Structure 1
Amino acid sequence: MSSRPLQNSDYSPNSTHTAVDVVLDTAYQNINASEWAELFATASQSKVKEFIADMFAGKHVNQSEDRPALHSALRNLSKSPVLVDGQDVMPAVSEVWQRIDALCNKWVGVTDVIHIGIGGSDFGPRLAIEALAHVPGIESRGMRMHFLANIDTAELARILARAQPNSTRVIIVSKSFTTLETTMNAKAVVAWLQNSGCTKGQIARSLFAVTANIPAAKDFGIEEENIYPFWDWVGGRYSVWSAVGLPIALQYGFKTFQDFLAGAHAMDLHFKNAPLEENLPVIMALTLLYQQEKNKVKAYAVIPYADALDWFPKWLQQLDMESNGKSVDRDGKPVKHSSPIVFGSAGSNAQHSYFQLLHQGTEIIPIDFIAVREPMSDRPEAVAHHRILLSNCLAQAQALANGKDDANPNNVYPGKRPSNLLLLPELNAFYLGTLLALYENRAATLGALWNINSFDQPGVEYGKVLAKPIEQALASNQADIAASDNIDAVTAARINFLNAKN
C-alpha cells in the first residue's frame, strides 16, 4: 500500500491568493507554472480585462437584451457615479437605501413577513436569511421570515398555518410583476388576509412590492409609497443587492444589510482593479476552464464546510446554469464549453452522500471546498467540533488529490481529482457578501472566456409558453384532448389520463 502525493513540479508554487481577507488555494488543481501562463494568455486573448472594464462602465454587455449588467452599482457604497446611457444611477440607488433604512425603523409589532418571489427573487434573500441566522449574537428583531416561492400550495399552507394575519407584512417581489407563480401566490395571501378579517385599509398597509414594473404593482393594489423599484439593468439572479434583499435589512437591521453590500463592493473593487494573475474570480474561472480542456468535465461540486451555507449551492446553481447554460455564443455560433452541472451541499454531511462517486467514480468532478476559520456558534463544544469539521475538509481535498494504491482494486483511490479551497476569516454579513460577489464575478468571467452572454436566459421561456395551453386543457376536464401545434401526442395522452381521474 502506498500513496501518491503531488510533487512540487505538479503545480504552480504561487497557488495561494488573497483578496478581501478571503484565501483561495489552487494547489490541488494540478496546474503547473507554464500551464498557468497559458491560461492567463487565454484570458488576455479573450479580452477578459476589457470585458470587466466594460461591465463596470455600464456598457451594454447584455447584447441580446441591449442592456448593461450593473448589479455592482447596487452595492457601490462609495456612491461614485455609475452611468447608464449617460445618466448617473447612484442617486436612485441611494434613495432606495434610505427608504429601506426608514422602513426598518417603522415596523413595530410585526410578527411575520411573507416574502413572495421565485428564482432570483427568492434564492438570494433566502440564502442570506438562513446563513446569517447562524451568526452568534445576531439580532433577529423578533420576526418570522417566510419565503413563498413554489406554486404548490403545500408551501403556502405551511406558512399561513403559522403566520398571524393582523401582524403580518407581505413583500411581493417580481421584476416584471407578471411572474405566474408569484402573482398567484400573492392573490392567495391577500385572500387569506381578507378571510381572516383584515380590513381593506389594513391589507393596503400590509402589502409591499419590489419590482421594475411599478404600474403593474399599482394595478395590483399596492400603494405607491410601499413600492420599491429596481431596474432593467439588474438581472433577477443578481438582484439580492437591490430592494430584493429587503428581508435581510428587516430581519437583521439596516447596518447588517450595509455590511452585506460592503463585502460585495470590496470584492468588486478587487475584481475591477487587480491584475489577471492576482484576480480571484478570474483565477477560479481559469481553473474550471483548465479542467474542461484537460478532463472534459461536465459537472462540478461546491461543498461549504459550514451548515450556515447549505443554501449556497442552490443559489449557485441558478447563478451558473442560468447565466452560462448556453449552446451558442454571443455571435450565434456553437460553443465549445458552457456551464457544467452544479451541485453540492454542506460538508461534512455531503461526505455521507455522494463523495463515494467523487473519489472512485469514472467521472472527474472538480470541487470548490469552502471553509470558515471561526466556529459558527458560541457553544462550549464549538472549538472542538469546528476543528473536526476543518480536518474533514482538508482530509477530503488531500485524499481526492493524492489517491491511494491498494492490492484490492476496490480500495484503490485514483487521485488527481482537482479542487479549490476557499477560506473565509469568519461568516458574517460582510464575508457572505464577499463570497456571493466572488462567484458572480467568476460567472461573468467564464462568460467572457466562453464568449457567452451571462445576463440573459431565453431558454426558460419556451416551457412557460407551452404551459398555458396545457393548463387550459387540464382546466377543461375533458379526457379527449387531441394533439395540436402546442400539445404533442405524448402530452395530450398525459392530459387525458389526468382529466380522466377528475
Structure 2
Amino acid sequence: MLSSPNSAPSHSYSQTPNNAHSAVNIVLDTAYQGIDAADWKTLFNQARSAKLAQFIEDMFAGKHINKSEDRPALHSALRNLSKIPVFIQGQDVMPAVVDVWHRIEALCNQWVGVTDVIHIGIGGSDFGPRLAIEALAHVPGIHSRGMRMHFLANIDTAESARILAKANPHSTRVIIVSKSFTTLETAMNAKAVAKWLLDSGCTPSQITNSLFAVTANISAATTFGISQEHIYPFWDWVGGRYSVWSAVGLPIALQYGFDTFKDFLAGAHAMDLHFKNTPLEQNLPVIMALTLLYQQEQNDVKAYAAIPYADALDWFPKWLQQLDMESNGKSVDRDGKPVKHSSPVVFGSAGSNAQHSYFQLFHQGPEIIPIDFIAVREPMSDRPEAVAHHRILLSNCLAQAQALANGKEASNPNDVYPGKRPSNLLLLPELNAFYLGALLALYENRAATLGALWNINSFDQPGVEYGKVLAKPIEKALASHAQDVQASEHIDVITAARIIFLNTTALKK
C-alpha cells in the first residue's frame, strides 16, 4: 500500500508565458517583477556566491545545517515516498518514518463511530493540519469520514468552550501535539479537555482510549496518561513549522483517508525532487526567493503579501506567516553579524475579498509591497454557476496584477496609479491534496533558499523564548492579586503598573 509516490495528475503545460517556469505542473510567472536578463544574471551569480547549490545538497543529505542547535533539517524525509535512504550519523531514518506511515494507515482503519476529533497544538503543531483540513474540504467529491475536526490552540478558554460545547465526549478522540510535551498552552488545554471527558462521565479506561499524542518526549506523554501504543514519534531533526508531513498531519489522514494523506506527501516530495535536482535558473523555489531578494535590494521592501484567489486557501497566508517570519525573522546571521536583509512582514487573505480590504494601499500607497498571486485553473465547487464565477475570480486576479504593474496616468491626482508594483503569479492546475502538498513544499524550500541567500539559520527560533520566560513571574504576580507589585529583573515599572491595574479590576476569581 505504501509504494512509489503518486505521479502528478495528467495536466501538461506545453506552452507557458514568457518569464514563466513550471515544476510539478505549477507555473510561476515573474513577468511583472521588472527583472531583466542582466538582473537575472546578477541574481543567479549571487546565489552561486552564497553556495546555494551546496546548501541544498547538504540539507537533503542530512548535514547539520541548523548550526545553532547542531541538527539537520530533514523534514523532506517525512515525505520521501521514494524511501531512498536518508542517513543521520550513519543511521537511515526512513524505516522509522515508514513505520509511522503504517501506523497512521492502521489508525485510519480502526476508528469507527468517532464523531469528534480535538487536535490540541499551537504554532507549527496547528497551522499545517488546520490549513490542510480547511483547504481539502473544498475539493469537489473528496471522500470525508464526516468527523468534526476541531483545532484547539489558543489558551483563551473562549476557543475550548466553543469546541467542547459541540463535541460528544463519549465519541471524541483527542490528539495532543507537542514536540517537547511541555508547551504551556498545549499542556493546559490538554488537561482541561481530559477533565471535561472525566466530568462528562467517561471512565478512566475510556479516557485512556480517547487520548493520543504526537511528541518527541515519550516519557512525558506516558506520565500524562497516554498509552504507549497511542504515542506517535516526533524527531528533533524536524522543526515544528515543518512538521505537517509527520504524524502531526494525522487529522488529514483521519478525515480524508490515508490515500489522500499520501497524495499530500507525494506532491511535496515531487517539489523536493525538483528543488534538489533542477539547475538554479529553472528552480522554482530559487527563482521565487531571488525575486524577493531583488525587491529588497531595489526597493527596500519591508512587507510582502500572499493573495490566494481561492477561498480554500484562506488559511494559507497564516501558515506562511509562521514559516517565513519564524524561520527568517532574524537580526544576526549564522556568523553572529548584523543582517542586511531578513524576512519581510508577511500578510494576506483570499482574493477577491482582499481587493475590498487593503488593495487600496497596494495601488496608491507610498510603500512598494510585492505580491504573490496564487490562482487555481479549475473551480473549487461543482455548483452550476461555478465556471462563470471562477472566470470572474481569475479575471480579477489577472487584472489586479496588471493594474499594479502598469499603473494609470490621470489629470486628477486621486486617479493616478503609480504602477511598477511587482508581483508573481503562481498557477495551480487544480487544488487537491497533491497540489496542496506541492505548494507548501515550494514555499518551505523558498524559505530555506532565502535563509541561505541572507546567511540566516532558517531552522531555529530563539526570539520566541524570551517572552515565555517573562510570562512566568508576571502570571505569578497576577495570581497573587497583589496590589503592590514592585519592579524587578523580570518585571519593569510599566508592566508592574499594568499588573496592579488588572489585579484591582479583573481576574478576581
TM-score, normalized by length of structure 1?
0.97
**Matched pairs, number:** 490
- Matching of residue 127 in structure 1 with residue 116 in structure 2: no
The alpha-carbon deviation at position 14 of structure 1 amounts to 4.9
Alignment equivalent of 2:152, drawn from 131, 141, 148: 148
Deviation digits for residues 361-407 of structure 1 (CA, Å, limit 9, x no counterpart): 00000000000000000000000000000000000000000000000
Q: SS state of the match for residue 237, structure 2?
A: coil
Whole-angstrom CA distance in 2 between matches of 1:359 and 1:140: 41
1:374 match: 378
Q: SS state of the match for residue 470, structure 2?
A: helix
Which letter maps to 1:204? T
Whole-angstrom CA distance in 1 between matches of 2:170 and 2:133: 23
Query: Pairwise mapping of residues 345-494 of structure 1 onto structure 2 (< 5 A)?
Result: 345-494=349-498
Whole-angstrom CA distance in 1 between matches of 2:83 and 2:151: 31
Alignment equivalent of 2:102, drawn from 98, 106, 113: 98
Alignment equivalent of 1:302, drawn from 297, 300, 306: 306
- Matching of residue 256 in structure 1 with residue 260 in structure 2: yes
Alignment equivalent of 2:316, drawn from 285, 309, 312: 312
The alpha-carbon deviation at position 230 of structure 1 amounts to 1.3
- Matching of residue 21 in structure 1 with residue 37 in structure 2: no
Whole-angstrom CA distance in 2 between matches of 1:84 and 1:314: 32
2:240 match: 236
Deviation digits for residues 95-128 of structure 1 (CA, Å, limit 9, x no counterpart): 0000000000000000000000000000000000
Which letter maps to 1:424? L
2:183 match: 179
2:339 match: 335
The alpha-carbon deviation at position 66 of structure 1 amounts to 0.1
RMSD: 0.6
Deviation digits for residues 304-348 of structure 1 (CA, Å, limit 9, x no counterpart): 000000000000000000000000000000000000000000000
1:3 match: none
Alignment equivalent of 1:81, drawn from 76, 82, 85: 85
Identical-residue share of aligned pairs (%): 84
2:4 match: none
The alpha-carbon deviation at position 140 of structure 1 amounts to 1.3
- Matching of residue 112 in structure 1 with residue 119 in structure 2: no
Q: SS state of the match for residue 91, structure 1?
A: helix
Whole-angstrom CA distance in 2 between matches of 1:71 and 1:233: 7
Whole-angstrom CA distance in 2 between matches of 1:88 and 1:337: 36
The alpha-carbon deviation at position 440 of structure 1 amounts to 0.1
Deviation digits for residues 183-219 of structure 1 (CA, Å, limit 9, x no counterpart): 0000000000000000000000000000011111001
1:4 match: none
Deviation digits for residues 464-493 of structure 1 (CA, Å, limit 9, x no counterpart): 000000000000011101101110000000
Deviation digits for residues 126-159 of structure 1 (CA, Å, limit 9, x no counterpart): 0000000000011110100000000000000000
1:57 match: 61
2:161 match: 157
Q: Unaligned 5+ residue runs, structure 1?
A: 1-12
Deviation digits for residues 203-245 of structure 1 (CA, Å, limit 9, x no counterpart): 0000000001111100111000000001000000000000000
1:496 match: 500
Which has the higher mean CA deviation after the structures are superposed, 136-145 or 381-390?
136-145
1:218 match: 222
- Matching of residue 198 in structure 1 with residue 177 in structure 2: no
Whole-angstrom CA distance in 1 between matches of 2:135 and 2:37: 37
Whole-angstrom CA distance in 1 between matches of 2:384 and 2:164: 37
Q: SS state of the match for residue 307, structure 2?
A: strand
Whole-angstrom CA distance in 2 between matches of 1:307 and 1:47: 38
Which letter maps to 1:395? A
Q: SS state of the match for residue 406, structure 1?
A: coil
Q: SS state of the match for residue 186, structure 2?
A: helix
Whole-angstrom CA distance in 1 between matches of 2:143 and 2:185: 32
Deviation digits for residues 72-100 of structure 1 (CA, Å, limit 9, x no counterpart): 00000000100111110000000000000
Whole-angstrom CA distance in 2 between matches of 1:320 and 1:484: 34
1:321 match: 325
TM-score, normalized by length of structure 2?
0.96
2:285 match: 281
Q: SS state of the match for residue 372, structure 2?
A: strand
